[in-house]
Amino acid sequence: LSLHDALPISMPQKESSSMAKASTVEKYMAPAPEVPPVASGDPWADRETERLAKIPSAIQRLREPFLEAETKKGQIQANGFQGTIVEWNYACDRLDEVDPAWEHYTEAKYHGPIGNKMVVEITVTLTVLGIRRMGHSAEAATADEMANAAKRVETDALKRAAAKFGVARYLYRGDSRQE
């Protein structure tokens, strides 16, 4: 935990109705007003103010659709569905654009054996502009399959964490339109 992470940040109050919730989302996602920064004399407070001012435009940029050249058709699933996926390097480029200091932390747990298989369970914590989102995934695999299973599970967990920031979330709906 860094000192930056320990700074208090006021959180919005919980709203009771769906109408109030929608207005709260609009309120916090609206572009920041054009106000020149005022130095408080406290470098930590000034840094936090600058970080908070970047969040609405950064989230908006993360949610923008990717170019067709940055996507490809995924594998055909057992149910016949074939979704579009974003190559991870393009998602990383988008994250670098909005926060060059973004980072992720991976925690892996192994359970079992269950028959001749073990379960790999991975949680990824993705941090962008000081905001954390977590993604989780798990898969059962034999000892011979475990390395590849762990890669797939980590990739799924990382995609789920990124989608919580809006990265390629529109593709989860089978849609190519922006949210």
For 89-123, b/e burial (b = at least 16 CB within 10 A) is ebbeebbeebbeebebeeeeeeeeeeeebbbbbbb
Residues 6+ apart with CB under 8 A from 152: 137, 139
What's the N-to-C CA distance of the chain in angstroms?
33
Model confidence at 146, pLDDT cuts 50, 70, 90, reads very high
Q: Is the pLDDT of residue 162 over 70?
A: yes
40-54: pLDDT as tens digits: 667 767 777 777 777
Q: How far apart are CA 77 and CA 105, in angstroms?
A: 29
DSSP 56: H
Per-residue pLDDT tens for 89-140?
A: 898 999 999 999 999 999 999 998 888 999 999 999 999 988 999 999 999 9
Under the banding of pLDDT at 50, 70 and 90, the label for residue 25 is very low
Q: Measure the CA–CA gap between 170 and 179, rounded to whole angstroms.
A: 6
Q: Chain centroid to CA 53: how far? A: 19
In the predicted model, is pLDDT for residue 69 greater than 80? yes
The H-or-E segment that residue 15 falls in is: none
Band the pLDDT of 7: cuts 50, 70, 90.
very low
Q: What is the pLDDT of residues 72-90, one digit of tens each?
A: 887 766 666 677 888 888 9
Q: Which of 123, 124, 153, 151 is nearest to 139 (CA)?
A: 153
Tell me how far the alpha carbon of residue 20 is from its chain's centroid.
25
Closest CA to 93 of 74, 73, 66: 66
The answer to whether the beta carbons of residues 36 and 49 sit under 8 Å apart is no
Instruction: State pTM to two decimals.
Output: 0.65
Residue pair 61/52 in contact by the 8 Å Cβ criterion: no
